[in-house]
Amino acid sequence: MTSSALKTAFAHADRFRSNLESRPPKAPASAEMLELAFGLPTPEHGLDADTVIDELAAAAEPGLMGMAGPRFFGWVIGASHEAGVAADWLASAWGQNAGNFHASPAAAMAEKAASRWLLDILNLPQDSSVGFVTGATMANFTCLAAARSEVLCRVGWDVEADGLMGAPAVTVFIGADAHATVLNALQYLGMGRKRVVAIETDDQGRMRPTALEAKIQATVGPKIVVAQAGQINTGAIDPMSDIVKICRAAGAWLHVDGAFGLWANASSLLRSQTIGIEGADSWATDGHKWLQLPYETGFAIVRHPAAHRRAMNINASYLPETNGAQYEASQYVPELSRRARGFATWALLRALGRDGVERMVVGHCDFARYLADKLKPEVGIRVENKVRLNQVIISFGGAEADQQMRDTLTKAVILEIQNRNRVFVEGGDWRGHWVLRVSIISEPTQQADIELLADEIIKAWKKVHETHAMLASPKA
Ligand X SMILES: Cc1ncc(COP(=O)(O)O)c(C=O)c1O
Q: Which residues contact ligand X (rule: CB under 6 A)?
A: 76, 135-137, 179, 181, 230, 232, 257, 259-260, 286, 298
Residues present in the chain in total: 476
| 8 A C-beta contact, residue 460 and residue 413 | yes
Exposed / middle / buried, residue 68 (Cβ in 10 Å: 0-12, 13-18, 19+): buried
Rounded least distance, CB 324 to ligand X, Å: 29
Closest alpha carbon to 79 in 423, 440, 355:
440
Asked whether the CA dihedral 46, 51, 52, 55 is positive or negative, the reply is negative
Closest alpha carbon to 256 in 386, 123, 76, 392:
123
Rounded least distance, CB 137 to ligand X, Å: 3
Closest alpha carbon to 291 in 130, 444, 116, 443:
443
Rounded least distance, CB 145 to ligand X, Å: 15
Rounded least distance, CB 252 to ligand X, Å: 20
- Which CB atom, from 137 or from 330, has the smaller least distance to ligand X? 137
- Could you give the C-alpha distances from 106 to 113, 118, 128, 130, 328, in angstroms and in order? 11, 18, 21, 17, 12
- Strand-pairing partners, residue 382, are 395
Rounded least distance, CB 439 to ligand X, Å: 9
- Which CB atom, from 373 or from 429, has the smaller least distance to ligand X? 429
- Which CB atom, from 146 or from 401, has the smaller least distance to ligand X? 146
- Which CB atom, from 179 or from 215, has the smaller least distance to ligand X? 179
- Which CB atom, from 96 or from 390, has the smaller least distance to ligand X? 390
The residue number whose beta carbon is nearest to ligand X equals 135
Query: Running DSSP on this structure, what letter comes out for residue 168?
Result: P
Name the maximum alpha-carbon separation found in the chain: 83
- Which CB atom, from 128 or from 181, has the smaller least distance to ligand X? 181
- Which CB atom, from 9 or from 436, has the smaller least distance to ligand X? 436
Q: At what angle do helices 447-472 and 342-375 cross, to 10 degrees?
A: 50
- Which CB atom, from 76 or from 392, has the smaller least distance to ligand X? 76
Exposed / middle / buried, residue 436 (Cβ in 10 Å: 0-12, 13-18, 19+): buried
Rounded least distance, CB 404 to ligand X, Å: 28
Q: At what angle do helices 31-38 and 49-60 cross, to 10 degrees?
A: 170
AA letter at 49: A
Rounded least distance, CB 365 to ligand X, Å: 16
Rounded least distance, CB 196 to ligand X, Å: 15
